[in-house]
Amino acid sequence: MAISYNKLWDLLIDKGMKKTDLAAAEERISKKKAAELFEHGMLDSLEAGTFESLKAIHKYLFEDIYDFAGELRTVNIAKGNFRFVSLMYLEAALANIDKMPQSTFDEIVEKYVEMNIAHPFREGNGRSTRIWLDCIFKKEIGKVVDWSKVDKEDYLLAMERSPIKDIEIKHVLSLALTEMVDSSEIYMKGIDHSYYYEGYKTFKTGEL
């Protein structure tokens, strides 16, 4: 999906730089911000499982990159043959997701799948929502996902099928759960792997 209407792109155009430079700059800046979320304890201050917490994560990650960081998308979007929630129903969908239970592993994953279907932002949904998911896991079941143990193709295929059947994504994530919820190494490796799912692999989060 093309990146547009963002602060960083305007800056790079002014400097005569290319779109590949934008991708690298976006990765570096947002990974550094992701590390700060963990290092400064900001994630623990959020109300796990709410759209407001996801909005705060997205805004912090991308506020130096996108003009629309933390704001609901204003267009309908699709990926392949799948159309995410229509703009007409987006706010209602998010309100319903907020009300979904999240006390068990299955309930949390089901909530995550629904948030993925909602896809509330123009860009950066996957990266911000995986952090949001781990916030819920940490609070509710005392575990997080070690994303470095989640194969990219297994994850992407399971997520693609999850609107119809979520058993695959539940299986994939269940195999990667860890009780090392306060491990900086697990978190930083997780950010790197999460970004790798989206094609970003130039920088290591722990080295920024």
Sequence spans of domains, the chain: 7-207
pLDDT of residue 15: 54
- CA torsion sign for 27, 29, 129, 44 is positive
pLDDT of residue 21: 72
CATH 3.40.50.10320 holds for 7-207: no
Which of these, 119, 117, 139, 141, lies nearest to 128 by C-alpha position? 119
% of the chain exceeding 70 in pLDDT: 90
- The first and second tokens of residue 45, run together, are 């201050």
**Can you give the chain as a three-state secondary structure string?**
CCCCCEHHHHHHHHCCCCHHHHHHHHHHHHHHHHHHHHHCCCHHHCCCCCHHHHHHHHHHHHCCCECCCCCCCCCCCEECCEECCCHHHHHHHHHHHHHCCCCCHHHHHHHHHHHHHHCCCCCCHHHHHHHHHHHHHHHHHCCEECHHHCCHHHHHHHHHHCCCCCHHHHHHHHCCEECCCCCHHHHHHHHHHHHHHCCCCCCCHHHC
Is pLDDT above 60 for 14? no
Residue pLDDT, tens place only, 57-81: 999 999 988 889 999 999 999 988 8
Is the distance from CB of 48 to CB of 140 less than 8 angstroms? yes
pLDDT band for position 6 (50/70/90)? Answer: low
pLDDT of residue 186: 98
pTM of the model: 0.91
Which residue pairs from 79-88 have beta carbons closer than 8 angstroms and sit at least 24 positions apart in sequence? 79/1, 80/160, 82/160, 82/163, 84/117, 84/118, 84/119, 85/117, 85/118, 85/119
Q: Which residues are within 8 A (CB) of 16 and not within 5 positions of it... i.e. 6 or more apart?
A: none
Residue pLDDT, tens place only, 127-172: 999 999 999 999 999 999 999 999 999 999 999 999 999 999 999 9
% of the chain exceeding 90 in pLDDT: 82
